[in-house]
Structure 1
Amino acid sequence: MKILYFAWLRSKLGISEEDVTLPGHVTTLYQLIDWLKSRNPAFEEIFQDLSVIRVAIDQEYVTEDIPLGNAREVAFFPPVTGG
């Protein structure tokens, strides 16, 4: 699975994307986030407040803990404002 990080998340992690093989117990979005947090203190820091992070799975915006199924891509980004 490809994971993409945008804006300040990319800056704090020092990477813009990575390809990962998920452990078998990771089957939902929140399990993915918990697994990422367990990998590195930087992930723990950026995911401590999920209210400031938006998520898209296969380029579709999601707002709840959903099964990852056969997702190919998960993107994490800050809320976008326009004007």
Structure 2
Amino acid sequence: MIRVLLFADLQEKAGIREIEISAEKLTINGIREHIMELYPQLTAIKTAMPAVNEEYAEGEQVVKAGDIVAFIPPVSGG
């Protein structure tokens, strides 16, 4: 099982903070696609910065069961 944490706008639009994916291995991009199938309104996940086990990650990085993936959307401010 892979735990996925959503933050900020992603969490608000999905209405949940955490998603569990029953998979042994997936890439970050594969997780993005899976989440978009479940929550089509989360278009911002395409540009969100992924982190795996609290380390920033790239889209092709493989995530294994037991890992925690976080998606942090871009923030703007002034």
Q: Which amino acid aligns with 1:38?
A: E
TM-score, normalised to structure 1, is 0.71
Aligned length: 77
Superposed counterparts of 1:1-83, under 5 Å:
1-22=2-23, 27-39=26-38, 43-47=39-43, 50-51=46-47, 53-70=48-65, 72-80=67-75
| Distance 1:37-1:2 versus aligned 2 partners, 3 A rule | same
Could you list the structure 1 runs, at least 4 aligned residues long, displaced by more than 6 angstroms after superposition: none
| Distance 1:48-1:11 versus aligned 2 partners, 3 A rule | closer
TM-score, normalised to structure 2, is 0.75
Instruction: Provide the rounded CA distance (Å) in 1 between the counterparts of 2:19 and 2:59.
Output: 23
Which sections of structure 2, spanning at least 5 residues, go unmatched?
none
**Structure with larger Rg:** 1
| Distance 1:70-1:2 versus aligned 2 partners, 3 A rule | closer
Q: Determine which structure has the larger strand proportion and give its number.
A: 2
| Distance 1:63-1:81 versus aligned 2 partners, 3 A rule | farther
Shift of 1:71: 5.0
Q: Which amino acid aligns with 1:10?
A: Q
